[in-house]
Amino acid sequence: MPAKKKTREDRMSDAFSKLYCVGKARSGMTDEEVADALGIGRKALWRRRKNPSLFPFGDVLKLCALFCWEDDEVMKIVGLYCVRGGE
């Protein structure tokens, strides 16, 4: 049986997870600290990490500042946000 083809949401989640992990490691923050900084619970953060389209754009900008993402990383995140239609 062939492997399941990845959807756009799967690719978006994978790309976001990589950037999130790099940013979190660079900042030295825990998931709990990130959730507190965003003003959400840890479970909500976990759900949003698995489905990045649930992040409001303001929270995406907060993550950019918290994780000190570089310009290319910010552009990838903004690109992911724009793909979903900028709700």
Residue 87 pLDDT level (bands cut at 50, 70, 90)? very low
Q: What is the pLDDT of residues 11-61, one digit of tens each?
A: 888 888 899 999 999 999 999 999 999 999 999 999 998 888 888 888 888
Whether the predicted pLDDT of 2 surpasses 80: no
What domain count does the chain have?
1
Q: Are 84 and 12 in contact (CB under 8 A)?
A: yes
Query: Has residue 20 been placed in a domain?
Result: yes
Whether the predicted pLDDT of 74 surpasses 70: yes
Query: Has residue 3 been placed in a domain?
Result: no
pTM for this structure? 0.78
For residues 6 and 65, the model is more confident at 65
Query: Has residue 1 been placed in a domain?
Result: no
Separation in Å, CA 84 to CA 16, 26, 41, 75: 13, 27, 24, 14
Give the three-state DSSP class for 62: helix
Q: Can you give the CATH number for the domain in which 25 is found?
A: 1.10.260.40
Please give the residue range of the domain that contains residue 49: 8-83
